[in-house]
C-alpha cells in the first residue's frame, strides 16, 4: 500500500509538473513498451529522477502491451507536436517505428533508443543499451566453466523469447552459445545450430507460464537435459517449477539474463545458477542527460568505442564464481537490482 | 400415466424421415454436440501417436497435456457457461489473474491467514463476475462491451494494485504453501496428475451434470436459445444471467488459484491470452456462439485438442507458428461443421 501511495504521489508530482511547467523548461519524452514491466518502471524512475535534477520536464508514454506499435507511433507524434527536445524510446516494433523516428529527427528532436536497438541501429541518433550478446556470453562461459569436462556431453535446453525472434532474444541466445563453445549458424537467428548438445529451442514469452511449458516440452523430448538457458528470470522461475515436477531441480544448471530483484533472490536460493544483470536506471538517466546536452548546444550522444551503441554495462551475478569469468556476488547484485 | 402413454402412442407418432448416411451422421452430431471434438481429439492423438511413437503415446506425455491445458480448461468451462447464454466474457483471464494476485498479496502484504486470503480471492472473482452479470442483465448492456470494459478495468487495477511485483515461488512454498495446493502432484504408473488437473476434470463433470439435469442448467440453455421465450415460460432471465456470470467469475478465481500452483509464483503478467484461448477451446468444442447449444464436455475436448496439437508439433520439432496456423484452421472448420449441423434443425 505504501508503495502504491508512493507511486501515485510520484505520478501526481509528474502530472502537476507537466501542467505547470514554464515555457522555458526542456521537455523530454520517454516511450516504453509497457508501463507494467518492472524493467520499464525502473527505467521511468531513473528518467524522472534525472529530469528533476536537471530541471527538465519528462513526459512518459507506454504501449498497452509488449508489441503495441500504434500507441508508440501516436506517442512520438504527440512529442513532436509538444515541442519536446528529445525522445527516449524502447521500441516494440524495431523496424516499423523507423519512419516515425525519422519524422521526429527531421523535426529537430534527438531520438535515443534505450535497451532495444532499432533496425537498422543507426535509425536512432544513439542507442543506450545492455550488450545483450555479451550478457549471453557471460552466462555461457560460466556454464561451460562450471561443468568443466562435462560440458562436452551437456544436453542444453534453449528457452527463447518469441517466434518472431526479436533482436534482444537472438543476441542473448547466440551469445550464450558462443560463450559455451558451440558453433553458431547464422548469428542473426537462433535455432539453426547443428551441435547435437542442443536438445531444442522453445519459446516462453518471457514469463513463468511460458517458461514452465517450454521446459516441459523439451523435457518430454529429452529427459536428460542438464543445462537450461533462459531469456529472462521469470522464464527461469517457470522452468524451475517444471524441473521440480520432474524431480530434476538439483542436477540441472539454469542460467538467465536480467538482474531483477526476484531473479537475484532466485540466484541466492540456488534456483538460477548465474544471471547477467543489466541496468535500466542508468540507461534512462544517461538518456536524459544526452537530451539535455542536445537541447543546450546540439551535442550528439557519444557511443562506446568499438561498438555501435553506448554500453550501459552488464555484470554476472552468482555465488559460485567460475574461473576465468568475472562476476559479482549476490549481495552486490541485490544492491544493484531493479524491480 | 397410462392414459398419457396411449395418447402418445396415438398422436405423437412421427415418421422417421429417410436421411441417408450423411443425414444420419448429421442428425447424430446434432444430438451429441460433443461428438465432433471427441472424434478430432482421438484422431489427433492417434496421428501424433503414430508419428512420434512412445515419446508421445505414453502416460507421461498424455498427462503432461492435461497439466498444460488445466488453466485454459478451467477458464474455458466458465466461458462455456457464459457463451451458452449467448453472451461472451472477455474478462475471464483478467479475473483469474487478479484473483491470484489478491490471494498472494492478502497473504504477503497484509499477513492474513492463507485460507482467508484464498477465500477473499475467490469472493473477489465472484463479485467481478456478478457485476458483469448485473450490468448485462439489469442495465441491458451488451456482454461484449461490458466484459471488454471490465477486462481493461480489472487488468489495470491488477497492475496498479500489485505494482507488477512477482511473489516468488520459494517464498510461497515457505510461508503459504496452500497457495500452491492445486499444483501438488501425484503419480499413477508413470502418469502424472496434479490437484489442479483433477479439479478441472471434476469441474467439467459437475457442470455437465448440472447443465443437463438441474432446473438452473436447463434455464441457462433456455435463456441462450431464446431469452424472450424463456421469460414468457417463467424463467427468471435476469437472475439466471447474473448467476451465470457470477459462477463464471468464481471458476476464473479458481483458475487463478490453479495458476499459482502451476507457475509456483504469483505473477501479475500471466494469463494475458486466457480470454482468447478459452474462446478458442469453446468454439473448437462445438458450442454455438449464438447460445443455447453445445456441451461443456465439448469445450473440455476442445481445450485438449489445442494441447495435443501444441505438444505434438513441438515434439516433432515444428516451428511454433504451425501450431497457431493449425488452430486457426480448426476454429474455422469447427464453425463450418456447426453451421452444417444446424441445418438439421431448420
Using CB atoms within 10 Å of the CB of residue A48, give its burial: 0 to 12 exposed, 13 to 18 middle, 19+ buried. Answer: buried
- H helices within B11-142, ranges in order? 20-31, 35-52, 59-84, 92-108, 114-137
Task: Give yes or no for a contact between A127 and A121, defined as CB atoms under 8 angstroms apart.
Answer: yes
Dmax over CA atoms of chain A, in Å, equals: 65
State which residue of chain A sits closest to B62, comparing Cα positions: A220
Pick from B275, B245, B241, B299: nearest CA to B97? B275
pTM of the model: 0.80
Name residues of chain B where pLDDT drops below 70: 1-17, 344-346
Instruction: For chain A, give percent helix, strand, coil, nearest 5.
Output: 45, 20, 35
CB of B166 less than 8 A from some CB of A: yes
Q: What cell does A111 get?
A: 531520438
In whole angstroms, what is the distance from residue A193 CA to residue A129 CA? 27
Task: Give yes or no for a contact between A210 and A203, defined as CB atoms under 8 angstroms apart.
Answer: yes
The answer to whether residue B111 is domain-embedded is yes
Q: What cell does B305 get?
A: 485438442
In whole angstroms, what is the distance from residue B311 CA to residue A190 CA? 20
Q: What cell does A64 get?
A: 498497452
In whole angstroms, what is the distance from residue B190 CA to residue B183 CA? 17
Specify the pLDDT at position A42. 87
Task: Give yes or no for a contact between A132 and A175, defined as CB atoms under 8 angstroms apart.
Answer: yes
- Helices B215-225 and B59-84 sit at what angle, rounded to 10 degrees? 70
Specify the pLDDT at position A13. 44
Cα A110 to the chain's mean position, in Å? 22
CB of B88 less than 8 A from some CB of A: no
Question: Residue holding cell 543506450?
Answer: A128
Whether A14 shows a pLDDT value over 60: the answer reads no
Q: Which residue has the higher pLDDT, A236 or A71?
A: A236
Backbone angles phi, psi at B9, to 5 degrees: -60, -40
Burial track B56-78 (b if 16+ CB lie within 10 A, e otherwise): bebebbbbbbbbbbbbbbbbbbb
Task: List CB contacts of A61: < 8 A, sequence separation 6 or more.
Answer: A29, A30, A31, A32, A71, A72, A75, A78, A79
Q: Do B168 and A209 touch (CB under 8 A)?
A: no
CA dihedral A49, A52, A58, A63 (to 10 degrees): 20
Bridge partners for A111 per DSSP? A87
Task: List CB contacts of A338: < 8 A, sequence separation 6 or more.
Answer: A38, A39, A42, A259, A260, A261, A279, A280, A281
Task: List CB contacts of A193: < 8 A, sequence separation 6 or more.
Answer: A177, A182, A183, A184, A185
CATH number of the domain that residue B218 is part of: 1.10.3470
Task: Give yes or no for a contact between B95 and B256, defined as CB atoms under 8 angstroms apart.
Answer: yes
Q: Do B166 and A262 touch (CB under 8 A)?
A: yes
Q: What cell does B173 get?
A: 512454498
Q: What cell does A250 get?
A: 538439483
Mutate to test the interface with B, among A262, A271, A280, A330 (most CBs of B within 10 A): A262
Q: Do A220 and B55 touch (CB under 8 A)?
A: yes
Task: Give yes or no for a contact between A249 and A280, defined as CB atoms under 8 angstroms apart.
Answer: no
Specify the pLDDT at position A25. 81
What are the distances in angstroms from CA B175 to CA A208, B122, B162, B290? 20, 20, 19, 46
Using CB atoms within 10 Å of the CB of residue B79, give its burial: 0 to 12 exposed, 13 to 18 middle, 19+ buried. Answer: buried
Please report residues of B whose CB lies closer than 8 A to that of A203: 320
* Residues of chain A above pLDDT 90, percent: 73
Q: Do B163 and A41 touch (CB under 8 A)?
A: yes
Q: What cell does B119 get?
A: 477465500
Instruction: State the nearest Cα–Cα gap between A311 and chain B, in angstroms.
Output: 27
Whether A177 shows a pLDDT value over 60: the answer reads yes
Specify the pLDDT at position B27. 83
DSSP H or E segment with residue A203: strand A198-203
Q: Do A238 and B264 touch (CB under 8 A)?
A: yes
What are the pLDDT digits (tens) for A273-330?
999 999 999 999 999 999 999 999 999 998 899 889 999 999 999 999 999 999 999 9
Q: What cell does B41 get?
A: 481429439
Using CB atoms within 10 Å of the CB of residue A185, give its burial: 0 to 12 exposed, 13 to 18 middle, 19+ buried. Answer: middle
Q: Which residue has the higher pLDDT, A18 or A220?
A: A220
What are the pLDDT digits (tens) for B140-157?
999 999 999 999 999 999
Give the number of other Cβ atoms within 10 Å of residue B324's Cβ: 14
Please report residues of B whose CB lies closer than 8 A to that of A234: 166, 267, 269
Please report residues of A whose CB lies closer than 8 A to that of B270: 207-209
Bridge partners for A255 per DSSP? A229, A274
State how beta strands A86-89 and A110-114 pair. Answer: parallel
Pick from B213, B113, B95, B217: nearest CA to B158? B95
Please report residues of B whose CB lies closer than 8 A to that of A238: 263-264
Domain with CATH 3.40.50.2300 in chain A: 2-129+280-302, 132-277+314-336
Grouping H, G, I as helix, E, B as strand and the rest as coil, residue A130 is coil
State which residue of chain B sits closest to A6, comparing Cα positions: B163
In whole angstroms, what is the distance from residue B92 CA to residue B82 CA? 10
Task: List CB contacts of B174: < 8 A, sequence separation 6 or more.
Answer: none
User: Which candidate from B64, B165, B263 shows the least CB-CB separation from A208?
Assistant: B263
Please report residues of B whose CB lies closer than 8 A to that of A38: 163-165
State how beta strands B185-188 and B191-194 pair. Answer: antiparallel
Instruction: State the nearest Cα–Cα gap between A122 and chain B, in angstroms.
Output: 30
User: Which candidate from B183, B265, B268 shows the least CB-CB separation from A237?
Assistant: B265
Q: What is the mean pLDDT of residues A34-56?
A: 89
Q: What is the mean pLDDT of residues A23-42?
A: 84
The answer to whether residue B323 is domain-embedded is yes
CB of B320 less than 8 A from some CB of A: yes
What end-to-end distance do the CA atoms of chain A give, in Å? 16
Number of domains, chain B: 1
Specify the pLDDT at position A16. 43
What value does the mean pLDDT of chain A take? 89
Q: Does the domain formed by A2-129+280-302 have CATH 1.10.1740.10?
A: no
The answer to whether residue B3 is domain-embedded is no
Bridge partners for A254 per DSSP? A228
Task: Give yes or no for a contact between A112 and A90, defined as CB atoms under 8 angstroms apart.
Answer: no
Specify the pLDDT at position B11. 53
Instruction: State the nearest Cα–Cα gap between B117 and chain A, in angstroms.
Output: 16
Task: List CB contacts of B247: < 8 A, sequence separation 6 or more.
Answer: B78, B81, B126, B129
Backbone angles phi, psi at B43, to 5 degrees: -60, -45
Please provide the DSSP assignment of A7-29 as one string: HHHHHHHHHHHHHH--TTSPEEE
Using CB atoms within 10 Å of the CB of residue B256, give its burial: 0 to 12 exposed, 13 to 18 middle, 19+ buried. Answer: buried
The answer to whether residue B18 is domain-embedded is no
Q: Do A208 and B272 touch (CB under 8 A)?
A: no
Task: Give yes or no for a contact between B295 and B91, defined as CB atoms under 8 angstroms apart.
Answer: no
The answer to whether residue B102 is domain-embedded is yes
- Helices A261-268 and A233-245 sit at what angle, rounded to 10 degrees? 40
In whole angstroms, what is the distance from residue B108 CA to residue B105 CA? 5
Please report residues of B whose CB lies closer than 8 A to that of A266: 168, 170
Grouping H, G, I as helix, E, B as strand and the rest as coil, residue A193 is coil
Specify the pLDDT at position B106. 96
Q: Do A209 and B165 touch (CB under 8 A)?
A: no
Task: Give yes or no for a contact between A38 and A259, defined as CB atoms under 8 angstroms apart.
Answer: no
Specify the pLDDT at position B170. 87
The answer to whether residue B19 is domain-embedded is no
Backbone angles phi, psi at B258, to 5 degrees: -60, -35
Q: CATH says A132-277+314-336 is which class?
A: alpha beta
Which residue range forms the structural domain that includes residue B230? 33-49+57-338
Please report residues of A whose CB lies closer than 8 A to that of B267: 207-209, 234
The answer to whether residue B317 is domain-embedded is yes
Q: Do B311 and A220 touch (CB under 8 A)?
A: yes
Please report residues of B whose CB lies closer than 8 A to that of A209: 71, 259, 262-263, 267, 270-271
Task: Mark out chain A residues that contact chain B at CB-CB < 8 A.
Answer: 1, 3-4, 7, 36-38, 41, 65, 163, 200, 202-203, 207-209, 212-213, 216-217, 220-221, 234, 237-238, 240-241, 244-245, 262, 265-266, 269, 271, 339
Q: Do A200 and B317 touch (CB under 8 A)?
A: yes
Q: A with B: how many residue pairs have Cβ under 8 Å apart?
A: 92
Bridge partners for B192 per DSSP? B187
Specify the pLDDT at position A338. 85
Q: Do A36 and B185 touch (CB under 8 A)?
A: no
Amino acid at each position: 500500500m505504501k508503495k502504491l501511495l508512493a507511486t501515485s504521489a510520484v505520478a501526481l508530482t509528474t502530472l502537476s509538473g507537466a501542467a505547470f511547467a514554464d515555457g522555458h523548461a526542456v521537455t523530454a519524452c520517454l516511450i516504453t513498451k509497457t508501463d507494467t514491466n518492472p524493467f520499464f518502471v525502473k527505467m521511468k524512475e531513473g528518467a524522472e529522477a534525472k529530469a528533476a535534477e536537471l530541471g527538465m520536464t519528462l513526459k512518459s508514454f507506454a504501449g498497452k502491451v509488449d508489441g503495441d506499435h500504434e500507441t508508440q507511433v501516436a506517442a512520438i507524434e504527440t512529442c513532436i507536436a509538444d515541442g519536446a527536445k528529445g525522445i527516449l524510446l524502447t521500441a516494440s516494433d524495431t523496424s516499423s517505428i523507423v519512419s516515425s523516428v525519422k519524422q521526429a529527427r527531421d523535426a529537430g528532436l534527438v531520438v535515443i533508443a534505450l535497451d532495444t536497438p532499432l533496425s537498422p541501429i543507426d535509425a536512432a541518433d544513439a542507442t543506450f543499451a545492455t550488450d545483450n550478446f555479451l550478457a549471453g556470453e557471460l552466462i555461457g562461459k560460466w556454464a561451460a566453466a562450471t561443468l568443466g569436462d562435462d560440458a562436452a556431453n551437456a544436453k542444453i535446453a534453449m528457452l527463447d523469447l518469441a517466434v518472431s525472434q526479436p533482436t534482444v532474444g537472438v543476441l542473448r541466445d547466440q551469445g550464450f552459445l558462443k560463450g559455451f563453445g558451440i558453433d553458431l549458424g547464422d548469428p542473426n537467428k537462433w535455432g539453426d545450430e547443428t551441435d547435437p548438445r542442443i536438445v531444442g529451442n522453445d519459446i516462453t514469452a518471457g514469463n513463468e507460464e511460458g517458461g514452465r511449458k517450454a521446459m516441459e516440452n523439451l523435457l518430454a523430448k529429452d529427459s536428460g537435459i542438464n543445462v537450461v538457458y533462459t531469456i529472462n528470470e521469470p522464464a527461469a522461475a517457470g522452468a524451475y517449477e517444471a524441473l521440480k515436477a520432474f524431480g530434476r531441480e538439483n542436477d540441472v544448471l539454469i542460467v538467465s539474463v536480467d538482474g531483477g530483484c526476484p531473479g537475484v533472490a532466485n540466484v541466492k536460493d540456488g534456483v538460477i545458477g548465474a544471471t547477467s544483470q543489466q541496468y535500466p536506471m542508468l540507461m534512462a538517466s544517461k538518456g536524459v542527460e544526452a537530451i539535455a546536452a542536445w537541447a543546450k548546444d546540439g551535442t550528439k550522444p557519444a557511443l562506446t568505442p568499438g561498438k555501435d551503441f553506448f554500453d550501459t554495462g552488464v555484470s554476472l551475478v552468482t555465488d559460485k564464481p567460475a574461473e576465468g569469468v568475472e562476476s559479482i556476488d549476490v549481495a552486490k547484485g541485490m544492491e544493484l537490482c531493479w524491480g | 400415466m397410462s392414459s398419457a402413454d396411449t395418447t402418445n402412442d396415438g398422436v405423437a407418432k412421427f415418421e422417421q424421415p429417410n436421411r441417408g448416411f450423411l443425414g444420419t451422421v448429421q442428425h447424430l452430431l446434432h444430438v451429441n454436440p460433443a461428438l465432433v471434438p471427441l472424434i478430432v481429439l482421438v484422431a489427433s492423438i492417434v496421428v501424433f501417436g503414430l508419428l512420434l511413437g512412445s515419446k508421445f503415446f505414453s502416460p507421461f506425455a498424455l498427462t503432461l497435456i492435461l497439466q498444460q491445458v488445466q488453466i485454459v480448461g478451467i477458464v474455458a468451462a466458465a466461458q462455456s457457461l457464459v457463451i451458452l447464454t449467448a453472451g461472451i466474457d472477455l474478462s475471464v483471464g483478467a479475473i483469474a489473474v487478479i484473483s491470484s494476485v489478491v490471494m498472494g498479496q492478502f497473504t504477503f502484504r497484509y499477513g492474513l491467514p492463507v485460507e482467508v486470503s484464498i477465500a477473499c480471492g475467490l469472493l473477489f472473482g465472484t463479485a467481478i463476475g456478478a457485476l458483469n452479470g448485473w450490468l448485462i442483465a439489469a442495465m441491458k448492456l451488451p456482454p461484449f462491451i461490458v466484459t471488454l470494459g471490465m477486462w481493461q478495468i480489472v487488468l489495470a487495477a491488477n497492475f496498479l494494485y500489485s505494482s507488477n511485483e512477482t511473489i516468488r515461488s520459494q517464498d510461497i512454498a515457505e510461508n503459504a504453501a496452500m497457495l500452491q495446493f492445486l499444483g501438488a502432484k501425484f503419480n499413477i504408473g508413470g502418469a502424472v496428475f496434479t490437484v489442479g488437473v483433477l479439479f478441472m476434470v471434476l469441474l467439467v463433470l459437475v457442470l455437465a451434470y448440472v447443465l443437463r439435469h438441474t432446473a438452473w442448467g436447463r434455464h441457462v440453455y433456455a435463456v441462450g436459445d431464446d431469452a424472450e421465450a424463456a421469460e414468457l415460460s417463467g424463467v427468471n432471465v435476469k437472475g439466471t444471467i447474473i448467476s451465470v456470470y457470477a459462477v463464471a467469475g468464481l471458476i476464473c478465481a479458481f483458475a487463478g488459484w490453479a495458476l499459482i500452483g502451476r507457475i509456483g509464483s504469483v505473477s501479475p503478467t500471466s494469463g494475458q491470452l486466457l480470454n482468447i484461448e478459452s474462446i478458442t477451446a469453446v468454439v473448437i468444442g462445438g458450442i454455438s456462439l449464438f447460445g443455447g447449444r453445445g456441451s461443456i464436455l465439448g469445450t473440455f475436448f476442445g481445450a485438449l485438442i489445442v494441447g495435443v496439437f501444441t505438444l505434438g508439433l513441438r515434439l516433432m520439432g515444428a516451428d511454433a507458428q504451425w501450431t497457431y496456423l493449425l488452430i486457426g484452421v480448426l476454429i474455422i472448420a469447427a464453425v463450418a461443421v456447426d453451421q452444417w449441423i444446424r441445418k438439421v434443425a431448420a
